[in-house]
Amino acid sequence: MKKKIRILFLGDTQGEPGVAMFKKWTPILKEKHKIDAIFVNGENSAKNGKGITPELVKEFKKFGASVITSGNHVWGNKKIYSLIDDKNEILLRPANYPSVCPGRGHIIIDVDGVDIAVINIQGRVFMAEDLDCPFRCVESLLTFLKNRAKIVFVDFHAETTSEKQAMLHFLNGKVSGLFGTHTHVQTADERITEEGTSYITDLGFAGALNSSLGVEYNIILNRFLTQMPAQFKIEKNGPMTLNGVWVEVDTETGNAVHIERVNITDSVI
């Protein structure tokens, strides 16, 4: 068993441009940083930017994804319903959705002989406020996982920085890493606490740089100016960006020992 293991975490992958960036750059990043596993949030990877399809799950796996997390857009494409209900699949939905929903909110994978648990939860502030409490939900899952995996990572799909930072204080020293997703804007606050928990408020996203969260900015701008509804269109013109972090973890203690932000701009995909 390795003494240290390296995991790459990538933020929300937005539409075809984001998927193209994932395919192009993950092999490069894996070789450069000697990455052992890749986790990616894929809930926006469908062509229209909402949901994910079985075909895209296969593509993510083909290019190295070990776990695909999601959030409030996970149900955006009905084709995924049957796949996410397959317990052998790597796609997660937030654990604090009702238990009757298809799929699961956590998984344990083997990475070079090391058991690693991944938990996917969703925030409630300015989102689906009727979901189960994400704090109590993850606390319960950690009790269940206590003797099953020493290394635990959490994708917290939430809107506000305050809720994400509150979760860090709640989980500090209890997990190897807590990474925020959903806002599509990478924060510059990556760190490792004294208790060994790696953290960033938001991983960012993969998609068009000159856009509004991956959507054509003129559509969003007009919506702000007029308050009129409009159909979103994914921005397909470059440059493109790919955001995330990679973390090194001590396999004996489960503590993070290194975190490094990934922020790539690429004019050609």
Tell me the per-residue pLDDT of 156-171, one tens digit each, with 9 for 90 and over. 999 999 999 999 999 9
Bond prior to 102 in cis (omega within 30° of 0): no
Q: In total, how many domains does the chain have?
A: 1
What is the pLDDT at residue 17?
Answer: 95
Report how far residue 29's alpha carbon sits from residue 6's, in angstroms, rounded to the nearest whole number: 11
What is the pLDDT at residue 88?
Answer: 61
What is the pLDDT at residue 230?
Answer: 86
Report how far residue 143's alpha carbon sits from residue 149's, in angstroms, rounded to the nearest whole number: 11
The single-letter code of the amino acid at 93 is R
What is the pLDDT at residue 158?
Answer: 98
Question: Which of 195, 179, 110 is CA-nearest to residue 149?
Answer: 110
What is the pLDDT at residue 104?
Answer: 93
The range of the structural domain enclosing residue 60 comes to: 4-266
DSSP one-letter code for 161: H
What is the pLDDT at residue 81?
Answer: 87
* Contact between residue 84 and residue 53 where contact means Cβ atoms under 8 Å apart: no
Report how far residue 241's alpha carbon sits from residue 21's, in angstroms, rounded to the nearest whole number: 7
| pLDDT under 70: residue ranges of the chain | 86-88, 268-269
Q: Report the CATH number that the domain containing residue 186 is assigned in CATH.
A: 3.60.21.10
The single-letter code of the amino acid at 59 is E
Angstrom CA distances, 108 to 92, 117, 119, 152, stand at 11, 4, 9, 9
Tell me the per-residue pLDDT of 191-229, one tens digit each, with 9 for 90 and over. 999 999 999 999 999 999 999 989 999 999 999 999 998
Tell me the per-residue pLDDT of 83-101, one tens digit each, with 9 for 90 and over. 887 656 799 999 999 999 9
| Catalytic residue IDs | 73
